[in-house]
Structure 1
Amino acid sequence: MGALVERDLLGEDDVAALAGLAARVRGLAGAALLTGVGAGEAAAVAREVEALTARLAARRRTAPPFAASGGIDTAAGERRMDRQVGNPVTGPLNPVAPPVDLEVTSDGIVRGEFTLGPVYEGPPSYAHGGVSAMVLDQVLGMAAAATGTPGMTANLELRYRRPTPLGVPLLVEAKASRVEGRKVYAAGTIAAPDGRVTVEATAMFVMPQRFVVSKY
């Protein structure tokens, strides 16, 4: 395992500004995929994007930042991170993320509605199976963390029941089924707007012996 890197903690204003930037880059990716402009215009835009990339790269962090929560971990007396804003599934600062907006209910169910666009296409008009796996891994991990025993994915098994459509609201849900020491078992699904399940998943997560973690 690589060495831990010190992370910058962002305030609300910085998170909002960078989330806005990520949203525009997300839109740019979709436009680049679907554009019908000619070669000359595409080359001109590429030069502009290159210049903008250089502006952003002029000052770089060593690792994706965290957003600081306002709460205090009273057991340790230290401030804890509220979320990983660079997460590739839920992170509002990550242009690769859809992103998926998730909530954890009082009974430990993790649930969210999200829509996947053309950049996530696998079979024509349907989501790539790896994208479904990524989303379910995240949601199952959050369900495991909701038990108070957060961990890393040790096993992830998926059953693709039918194609997952693009461009429509999808529902993802997961819940932990049992905890055995440092192991947590969870199950979850992705469902289409008609309620039919497109992907089912089960997973086992293991909390490492020495685990320093932010909340999902």
Structure 2
Amino acid sequence: MDEMMPHSHLPAVGVADDEPSLAGVIAEDVAAWCRRLSSTLLEETGESLLGKLRAEADILRTLVDGEGSVVDGQPQAPPYRDRKGRLRNQTNPVTSARNPVAPPMALVGSDGESEFSVVLPIQYQGPPKTLHGGYVSVLLDETMWHAVRTALDGISFTRELTVTYERPVPLGVPLTVRGRVTSTDGRKTFAEGEVLAGGEVCARASGLWIAPRR
């Protein structure tokens, strides 16, 4: 990558300052519905597709009305305030429960290491039954950046990312994506990572992250 790509676990889209928690829960329920709908559109055809779309339309009406949502529940990805005090939605396309593009992935990480677990459905397909190679890079970039984030005080930007594909990454099975910091040099942080399926490494990556000048 020739240009540095900014990362933010909390990308910015403005929302109402007084959004109730139920609205956030409903938003995430609808995002999950969108993911399910995407799979239906890609897996079904003919009358089976039409029947499932009608059923999904009824489910959407129920979700928007708040029926079935936990009234006193809290969203997984609630709005947050940026450094200027503005309220923002969490829009990360890999991890945000509010973004229907995101799987989303479950993360653990600390002290320069991170690990995601995820099962990816058909909407991420490249070759049949196989994860699209570009999305493999997205998963590695996100996971390695999280490793960098746990090791640094502040934000960082992807400067370089090199991915080596060892074997196809399967869909519909548990995947583990790992990242770790390997070294630092001033504002530069180097990291590496891999995607595993069934204990086998499917792809590896190494990269460089740059912290902005203060």
Same fold (TM over 0.5): yes
Aligned equivalent of 1:196: 200
Aligned equivalent of 1:119: 123
Does the C-alpha gap of structure 1 residues 24 and 154 become closer, same or farther in structure 2, counting only changes over 3 Å?
Answer: same
Does the C-alpha gap of structure 1 residues 209 and 6 become closer, same or farther in structure 2, counting only changes over 3 Å?
Answer: farther
Shift of 1:38: 4.3
1:157 matched to 2:166? The reply is no
- Out of 79, 83, 88, the residue aligned to residue 67 of structure 1 is 79
Separation of aligned partners in 2, 1:151 and 1:80: 21
Does the C-alpha gap of structure 1 residues 136 and 40 become closer, same or farther in structure 2, counting only changes over 3 Å?
Answer: closer
TM value normalised by structure 1: 0.72
Separation of aligned partners in 2, 1:84 and 1:159: 34
**Per-residue deviation, residues 80-122 of structure 1 (Å, max 9, x unmatched):** 99x97311111111111111111113x3321121011111111
Aligned equivalent of 1:32: 41
- Of stretches 120-129 and 141-150 in structure 1, the one that deviates more from structure 2 is 141-150
**AA aligned opposite 1:151:** S
Shift of 1:67: 2.7
RCO higher in structure (CA 8 A, sep ≥6) = 2
**AA aligned opposite 1:33:** L
Report matched runs for 1:51-200 at 5 Å. 67-68=79-80, 85-105=90-110, 107-149=111-153, 150-193=155-198, 195-200=199-204
Does the C-alpha gap of structure 1 residues 138 and 12 become closer, same or farther in structure 2, counting only changes over 3 Å?
Answer: farther
Aligned equivalent of 1:206: 210
Separation of aligned partners in 2, 1:109 and 1:128: 25
- Of stretches 31-40 and 113-122 in structure 1, the one that deviates more from structure 2 is 31-40
Q: Is the 8 A contact 1:30 1:118 kept in 2?
A: yes
Separation of aligned partners in 2, 1:124 and 1:6: 35
> Structure 1, unaligned stretches of length 5 or more?
56-64, 70-75, 211-216
Q: Is the 8 A contact 2:14 2:89 kept in 1?
A: no
Q: Is the 8 A contact 1:66 1:86 kept in 2?
A: no
Aligned equivalent of 1:72: none
Shift of 1:209: 2.6
**Per-residue deviation, residues 142-166 of structure 1 (Å, max 9, x unmatched):** 1111112531110000010111011
Separation of aligned partners in 2, 1:209 and 1:183: 11
Shift of 1:207: 1.6
Q: Percent identity?
A: 30
Aligned length: 183
**Per-residue deviation, residues 115-136 of structure 1 (Å, max 9, x unmatched):** 1111111111110101110111
TM value normalised by structure 2: 0.73
> Structure 2, unaligned stretches of length 5 or more?
6-10, 65-76
1:22 matched to 2:27? The reply is no
Q: Is the 8 A contact 2:80 2:89 kept in 1?
A: no
**AA aligned opposite 2:211:** M
Q: CA RMSD in A?
A: 3.4
Separation of aligned partners in 2, 1:207 and 1:188: 19
**AA aligned opposite 1:184:** T
**Per-residue deviation, residues 166-208 of structure 1 (Å, max 9, x unmatched):** 1000011111111211111111111002x11001011111122
